[in-house]
Structure formats: structure tokens, C-alpha cells
Amino acid sequence: MTFTRTRIAPTPSGYLHRGNALSFLLTARRAREAGARLLLRIDDMDRDRLRPEYVQDVFDTLAFLEIRPDEGPADAPDFEAHWSQRHRLPLYEAALRQLRESGRLFACTCSRAALLQAHPDGIYTGTCRHKGLPLDTPGAAWRLRTDNAAPLRVRLPGGGFRIAPLPETQTDFMVRKKDGFPAYQLCSLVDDGHFAVDYIVRGEDLWDSTLAQLYLARVLGDEAFAACTFEHHPLLLDAAGGKLSKSAGAASIRHFRAAGGTLEELIRSTGSGLYP
């Protein structure tokens, strides 16, 4: 594989778990194999769930995994002072202006409860698409129309491609939240372009997000992101066969370390053999 930069991009919304460790270790391995740069990028735009202890946990986990990124914040104070996504708000706002000028955005005032009532999986059913609400409506989110049905092309490791449609879960996905902050899909896309990332490692649960971001890149004319290579790895499961989740209280690496667990034991528990 030939690429120049990949990234570890955790969200500080809870303590990291074994699934996060697997993704970090695999990303670091791919960077070493390719002689590429490894960037640490902490995605902290979800201000409601952000906690200082979760930011610190990112650095504690990387130290435990013996992963030393080539670029990015050295510690939590450096992150807050220089690397937080708050410092890149002008870049996100520029992308939002471009989307607004394209005429492809609409305002949505639906609550999460209303979305779940309309569809049990929370899939957007187009409730506000034709209401014509002004984008400046107080408390409204901005959604991107996804009625361009052309298939998306995902570049895979090894040079091949996978062709897929935008999934139903990403119908008219959100690009700006009700609180006025840019949404995850837009921030992640803009950041990867800003840092010139060209290889992205993710769990297979983020396949739909990859397709949403490729769709957004098409709308924005972002050819560099469309040329990125994406590797989606299998997920680690809990004892009940469900995916590990910070929000669901999956056993954290922090707890594992406190109980005296070693790096070798953690890696064996992932079944990956991905030693630093």
C-alpha cells in the first residue's frame, strides 16, 4: 500500500474500550507498513458529551498501547490550546456556506423522539424536506438533500473499488446540528482534507458514515477525499454478541489498566496479534 498520512480520530464522549484499541493498533500498523505519517486527531465537536477526563483518557490509552503519533497534540493542554476542532470552526463554516449556496440544504425542526416515532430505527423520512422552513429558523438543524441517487465508489486497500448506494440510514443526513455546531459527517470530511489524510481505518460499523462522507465530498467537489482509501475492520463483540460501545458502558481500557492488565493481555483479548 502507498499512502502518506492516516489518522487516529477518537471522540472523547466516554472512556475508550477494546474496540477502540483494535482500531488504533491497526491504524498504527498500517502507517508503519507504508512508511506514512500517523496523525492524532481528537473529534470534540460533540460538546454535550465532552469531558476533560475523556480527553485525558485518549492520551493515557495511546501511552498504554505504546503508540506514538507523528503529528497532533502532545497532551491534553496542547490539544485544548492548539488542536481542538473549535480552532477549525472557520473551515467547517466555509463548507456550510458552500452547501447553503448550492441550494441543497433544508431546515429541520424534528426532535429525536419524533424521528423514532416516524421510524423505529430513527431513519429520516423527509418530514421537513418540503416545508420550506428558513435555514435561520431558531433551533433548526440543517440537512443535506440526498436525492442524487448515483452510486458511490469506495477505494479499498489493494487498489480495488466497491460500488454502493447511499444507505437508507443516511437519507438527508445532518450537516449542522440544532445547537449551531457542524455535525460529525461534515467535520470529519473537512478535517481529513485539511490534514491531507489519504488512508482511513474504521470499524465496519462506520461503513454508512463513509458513504455519507463520500456523498458530501461529491456535493462539495472534494476530489481528494473521494480518492482516499478506506479500510473497514471487523468489530469486537461483547459477551452477548453485541458491539462494544462507550455509551453502553463497555468495559474500558482505563478499568483494565487499573486492574493490572498488561498490553500483551489486552492484545490477546482482541485476537488481532497487532503488537505495537
If one compares 114 and 245, the residue with the highest pLDDT of the two is 114
Confidence bin at 186 (pLDDT 50/70/90): very high
The whole-chain average pLDDT of the chain stands at 93
Domains 1-83+236-275 and 89-195+210-219 belong to one CATH topology: yes
Residue 258 has pLDDT above 70, yes or no: yes
pLDDT at 251: 82
Instruction: Please state, in angstroms and rounded to a whole number, the distance separating the CA atoms of residues 249 and 242.
Output: 12
In sequence order, the 6+-apart residues with CB closer than 8 A to the CB of 36 are 3, 4, 5, 6, 30, 199
Buried b (16+ CB within 10 A) or exposed e, 45-56: bbeeebeeebbe
Looking at the whole model, is its pTM more than 0.85?
yes
pLDDT at 34: 97
Residue 9 has pLDDT above 90, yes or no: yes
Asked whether 276 and 44 are in contact (CB, 8 A), the reply is no
The half-sphere exposure of 23 on its side-chain side, counting CA atoms within 13 A, is 28
Distances (CA, A) of 66 to 34, 59, 91, 169, 183: 19, 10, 32, 36, 31
**Domain 89-195+210-219: which CATH number of 3.40.50.720, 3.40.1160.10, 3.40.50.620, 2.40.50.1040:** 3.40.50.620
If one compares 237 and 134, the residue with the highest pLDDT of the two is 134
Question: How much is the average pLDDT of 198-209?
Answer: 96
Residue 238 has pLDDT above 90, yes or no: no
CATH superfamily of 1-83+236-275: HUPs (3.40.50.620)
Question: How much is the average pLDDT of 167-194?
Answer: 97
pLDDT at 128: 95
Nearest residue to 52 (alpha-carbon basis) of 35, 76, 75: 76
Write out pLDDT tens, residues 30-47.
999 999 999 999 999 998
DSSP state of 205: G
pLDDT at 250: 57
The residue length of the chain stands at 276
Buried b (16+ CB within 10 A) or exposed e, 113-126: eebeeeeeeeebeb
Instruction: Please state, in angstroms and rounded to a whole number, the distance separating the CA atoms of residues 266 and 263.
Output: 5
Residue 248 has pLDDT above 60, yes or no: no
Report the Cα–Cα distance between both ends of the chain, in Å, rounded: 19
Asked whether 66 and 263 are in contact (CB, 8 A), the reply is yes
Ranges of each domain in the chain: 1-83+236-275, 89-195+210-219
Distances (CA, A) of 216 to 45, 88, 221: 18, 18, 8
Residue 171 has pLDDT above 60, yes or no: yes
pLDDT at 240: 57
pLDDT at 243: 64
What is the percent of the chain where pLDDT is above 70? Answer: 95
Asked whether 31 and 37 are in contact (CB, 8 A), the reply is yes
Instruction: Please state, in angstroms and rounded to a whole number, the distance separating the CA atoms of residues 200 and 30.
Output: 10
